[in-house]
Structure 1
């Protein structure tokens, strides 16, 4: 599609309707809406690719402060002014502008916003529910073509799903085929040799949630039973999101799982939950709010929501990736669940699909295993695959190229995708995820066993909080180390048995469980030391 005269297409803004969706009516032109206009960073460092983050021990790294990040990567005042003038010309109000986060929020009637961005909005009905949507690309005046990096909020379809699964016969739950013993998070921390004598004190873990909520009474009951301090959980509302608990079979299961796992393995850390609507706009705004949070300053962010790469616009993929780049510059580790629907990620086309945002080269993608214990040690650990709809995600990105830290890997190509170009491989690490060997949690007054890679992201986030308590500087962007000086040293439990559909486990890295599950104390010891000198 070509843009009208004197206008240009916003790169990566093309949208298609959801499968089997149909437009039932136009959106009323006077319906009030808000959109987030993302702006280009003004003076980004010359190299923001993963290769810019060397295989260095955290102590040798130099991280930016959030103030320095805003100065280097914030939006230019003249760019903010240009978008403000554009808004005024179309009768739109500027609700807020944040140069550090590179956005301007505009509000106005749907008709004016449709005209401003060259689109039509309709109410759609689909098997996934009703949503306000659009198709095709967005456009802006040519003068804004290099300034506007994305426009989010016109389309409010649900963008992500929570990657958790409940064991048992509860409504909507996945029934484990062969249920085994379940674990409390502290029990798993012992099996994974989390470093003793650390509790995450002085660290803040940020949790991104796109629905649901938590009940303080549940936290009190759960942590009292574990004989751990009851965490004081702070909340940050983004785009109207808030702590709104509903039922155990809804998003509350995700929220409580994240809080209880992270706080149980790092009981001294502060937890901040960023609540936002489950839309591209809400999700992206929550991530950037957490990264740039000057008040809470999380050093680890855990994300247990995602969806197949092909359900996102390319502009959204790139904007999230830019936010994760910013996190890396600040020394923040971003842990993302790799998905719970095997190598196909729930897409019914017979092809492999990687889950996003785990497929971002700047994310620590967390895959899943099934674990059994033998006393105080791991008895066995294999790839989590309980059949269709209940298996770890993983695979090869169709959007992000192979990052520098994976250049030496022999990345697999699935049999169904022989023509696919090489891309970023995921996951990077793994942990117990099968509901059959799941996590004992409390949700809305019920004691449940929950699995999914949703549990692995906060498990690793809690472990990184322990690392950060001990290290001179935060662990930060771990991937260059995991694929570099830490690789092949027995610092993770290598998973060599099982498949997630299209990909099979093997010695070393694989597209089911990455490098494997953690040996926490060994990893911390290696991070605290300078990497060995590599041969010339």
Structure 2
């Protein structure tokens, strides 16, 4: 079914398709126009003074060298780089960055930040300046998404600056977080049988075989989010008190230029992230909250960049949000069928994003620095979140939408994509049942080739539609408890009240893994020298070896042993070994500590 979907898309690659207009001399076009824009009503030119925020990405000079260094790290021939070493070896030349900054300022834009490697430049300015700079109209629109601004033509940029991407040319495209799960009873209170309801940190220490000798000491976890943090920290302290955990320091870090942090709409999500991560690593040395103003593509890019550029940032982070992966411009027919599905969704949920090129560069740098970003694969099964619709009676905003592309940033090559499982314990910390969540995100990217560490994985078989001889990136890489839409999640505190099982979705699975990876790293003798490096290198190394795989992961079976029903997320079933629903499965942390950290 999945392969058929990919072939159906590939069949749209026909000759004679429409191509972009030739840009003016000296300028090159970037294929960056909001998907689904034709569904909104254009009300004319945007107000000249309307504020806009953009991030421009410059090509780093030696991407092949970066990949070679990553290959050396993967095979144990090199260790993670410091930020300074990365900048010296791979950074954009200062003269190129200075020329790009001068160009940005030529129409009145204000440069607010430049990344350490000088490849990410953020700038603010009025719509009139953005329109002039990128040689595209910026119009105002109304639609199902409300009022927003967007460019109506492909942006054009100087060809000699090496600009590969720009984000922020519209005010509607952004990451999305899922809705919280309803409340249920605690599994630890169940007397017999397979218990439904919420799990506690201690339940997961037992089920995922987390040794008491190593609990995260000396490690920190980063959480990516936006908006207000005071309530999140207050609820974290209440969670810690309830479960008898220490109170590690919490540090809030904002991207340069961001000043408004009043948005509290993601409060529950950030509660899940902080409380899941700390729950899995009770001796954690601290939590760093990298929070922007909002979840717009431009601000998310700034958050990722701030984390990557911090020399002392935690070696593990969690990003529990996403949007459909970028759809490259291949042909007019292909892109119209993918980015304008029928029935027409709101413009903001049209397929594809403008951010992947930028985040690919940032996350590759993070991996070279030995940092691991975990990200939820989404709560829409084998599709990406085109439209957020509630399951009847559940209210979790989850539904498989039938479009066979993946959730980003989880599907980026140097991000660990984390899928979800439904876990039933026996009430005493044992596993009664665990199967792949029906709405857990997973599948094959249609456009991003499998990175070197993933190549040769049994079960990874789906080719890219843009390169049929290449197998494409598959997610998830690993999984952990997500719960289901019935409140079978993780206990969290929100607004000072314990919500049994109220933390769920793959946005729970991701920070659980960030906490468990911190715990694994705390067991490593190399922790003071840079840690274990990018986690997927280790996961695929032990996963491809049958002996270490059995010791390090609990494989999710093709059938839910309790109901007898197949474990599937729509197009993809759970299979022995790695699969497109649950990746390698869920961790046996003690085994991973032994095989990756040498703590046997």
Fold match by TM threshold 0.5: yes
Contact 2:58 2:120 in 1 (8 A): yes
Aligned pair 1:430/2:447, yes or no? no
Aligned to 2:589: 520
The residue number in structure 1 matching 2:3 is: none
Give the Cα–Cα distance (whole angstroms) in 1 for the partners of residues 118 and 478 of structure 2.
29
Match of 2:9 in 1: none
Aligned equivalent of 1:392: 440
Post-superposition CA distance 1:348-380 (Å, at most 9, x none): 663322111000111111000001112332111
Aligned length: 508
Which is further off, 444-453 or 258-267? 444-453
Shift, 1:155, TM fit:
1.4
Q: 2:449 pairs with 398, 401, 417, which one?
A: 401
Shift of 1:229: 1.4
Structure 1 residue 100 corresponds to structure 2 residue 157:
no
Tell me how far apart the structure 2 counterparts of residues 470 and 179 of structure 1 sit (CA, whole Å). Answer: 32
CA distance in 2, matches of 1:312, 1:376: 41
Q: Show structure 1 runs of 5+ residues with no match.
A: 170-177, 386-390, 531-536
Alignment pair present for 1:444 and 2:495: yes
Distance 1:279 1:420 in 2: 35
Counterpart in 1 of 2:98?
81
Q: Is 1:478–2:528 an aligned residue pair? A: no
Q: 1:361 to 1:104 in 2, by over 3 A?
A: closer
Residue in structure 2 matched with residue 279 of structure 1 by the alignment: 296
Q: Deviations over 1:186-240 (max 9, x none)?
A: 3212210112222322222111113454514322222111011123211112252
Question: 1:121-172: per-residue Cα shift (whole Å, max 9, x none)?
Answer: 122223233322223421013333xx21222222121411114532249xxx
Query: Which of 302, 323, 326 pairs up with 1:307?
Result: 323
* Alpha-carbon displacement from aligned partner over 1:456-509 (angstroms, at most 9, x marks no partner): 111111111112222114222122332234432211010023000000011000
Q: 1:88 to 1:286 in 2, by over 3 A?
A: closer
Q: What residue in structure 1 maps to residue 359 of structure 2?
A: 320
CA distance in 2, matches of 1:410, 1:392: 18
How far apart are residue 306 of structure 1 and its match?
Answer: 0.4
- For the structure 1 residues 251 and 35, does the alpha-carbon distance in structure 2 shift closer, same or farther, using more than 3 Å as the test? same
Distance 1:106 1:217 in 2: 33
Match in the other structure for 1:352: 404
Q: State the partner residue of 1:200.
A: 216
Q: Following TM superposition, by how much is the alpha carbon of 1:444 offset from its aligned partner in structure 2, in angstroms?
A: 2.1
The alignment partner of 1:342 has SS state of coil
Distance 1:228 1:235, change over 3 A: same
Q: Distance in 1 between matches of 2:298 and 2:148?
A: 14
Bigger mean CA offset, 260-269 vs 474-483: 474-483
Match of 1:371 in 2: 423
Cα distance change of structure 1 residues 486 and 149 upon mapping to structure 2, 3 Å threshold: same
Q: Which residue of 2 aligns with 1:337?
A: 376
Once residues 296 and 220 of structure 2 are traced to their aligned partners in structure 1, the CA distance between those partners, rounded to angstroms, is 25
CA drift of 1:39 comes to 1.6
Separation in structure 2 between the aligned mates of residue 214 and residue 399 of structure 1, nearest angstrom: 40
Aligned partner of residue 355 in structure 2, secondary structure: helix
Q: Which residue pairs with 2:81 in the alignment?
A: 64
Does the CA contact (< 8 Å) of 2:323 and 2:352 recur in 1?
no
- Classify the secondary structure of the residue corresponding to 1:405: coil
Runs of 4+ aligned structure 1 residues displaced above 6 Å come to: none
Q: Please tell me whether residue 155 in structure 1 is matched to residue 175 in structure 2.
A: no
Equivalent position of 2:13 in the other structure = none
- The answer to whether the 8 A contact 1:23-1:124 is kept is yes
Partner of residue 174, structure 1: none
Q: Give yes or no for the alignment of 1:191 onto 2:239.
A: no
Q: Does 1:258 align with 2:273?
A: yes
- 1:52 and 1:242 mapped to 2: Cα distance? 41
Q: Which residue of 2 aligns with 1:500?
A: 569
**Structure 2: unaligned runs, 5 residues or longer:** 1-19, 185-193, 328-349, 388-400, 559-566
User: What is the SS of the residue equivalent to 2:268?
Assistant: helix
Residues 265/514 of structure 1: CA separation in 2 closer, same or farther (3 Å cut): same
Instruction: Tell me the TM-score normalized by structure 2.
Output: 0.78
Question: Is 2:134 the counterpart of 1:117?
Answer: yes
